[in-house]
Amino acid sequence: MKISLTKAGKRFNRDWIFRNVTYEFTTGNAYAITGPNGSGKSTLLQVIGGALMMSEGGLGYEVPGKGQQPAITGNGKLSTDNLYQHIAIAAPYLEVIEEMTVTELLTFHTRFKPFLPAITIPKVIEVVGLGKAAHKQIRHYSSGMKQRVKLAQAIFSDVPCLLLDEPCTNLDAEGVALYQQLINDYCSDRLVIVSSNDIQEYGFCKEKISILDYK
């Protein structure tokens, strides 16, 4: 998968958050978007994921094997309407359905976005350490347990691109180690973009994008 930004810019009201971002993200690589609090990391990640409209510039997507995916138009590009099929996002501001148990939530999720081959819901729950809490409604989970659910939803989805915004938010040391293990085990052949200030979250990313370079 390839995602391209061409002279991309985003402003809220009169304030430009970033401008002139021309960049290509490709499968098999991991990218970190870094910068201080409030500099625009999450905003850029949401623009890349098609969740926020940019104010100027262009955004293009390509997936290999033209014609395999119904979402692809004649020139091999995806429309953002269908982008969700190819991208999974984990972010603190994306809510989960708290009235469900984790089994119910993951069952619901996989109706829209199946998990990787050979990955079952009980296995996912066990791997992220939620086996003993599988019967509880998610609203009774701690913030770190909810974050494990969000990471599991994204990382185990059978999509070529993962967007991870502050992925270790609320995780304890064991949770951070779990995150790093999941990245190592399941993400090497995908396109991963991490928005973060924390080296524990993005240390594996070979490519770095400082948002301050685009002010």
Point out which residues bind ligand ATP (CB under 6 A). 12, 17, 35, 37-43, 197
| Strand residue runs (E) in 27-139 | 30-34, 56-62, 87-90
CB of 190 to ligand ATP, least distance (A): 22
CA distances from 120 to 70, 115, 136, 155, 197 (A): 26, 7, 19, 13, 32
CB of 203 to ligand ATP, least distance (A): 17
Task: Return the number of the residue (42 or 101) whose C-beta is nearest ligand ATP.
Answer: 42
Task: Return the number of the residue (82 or 197) whose C-beta is nearest ligand ATP.
Answer: 197
CB of 53 to ligand ATP, least distance (A): 11
Strands 30-34 and 191-195, bridge-based pairing = parallel
Task: Return the number of the residue (198 or 207) whose C-beta is nearest ligand ATP.
Answer: 198
Query: Which residue matches tokens 């997507």?
Result: 61
CB of 36 to ligand ATP, least distance (A): 7
Query: Smallest Cα–Cα separation from 148: which of 136, 163, 138, 137?
Result: 138
Task: Return the number of the residue (59 or 128) whose C-beta is nearest ligand ATP.
Answer: 59
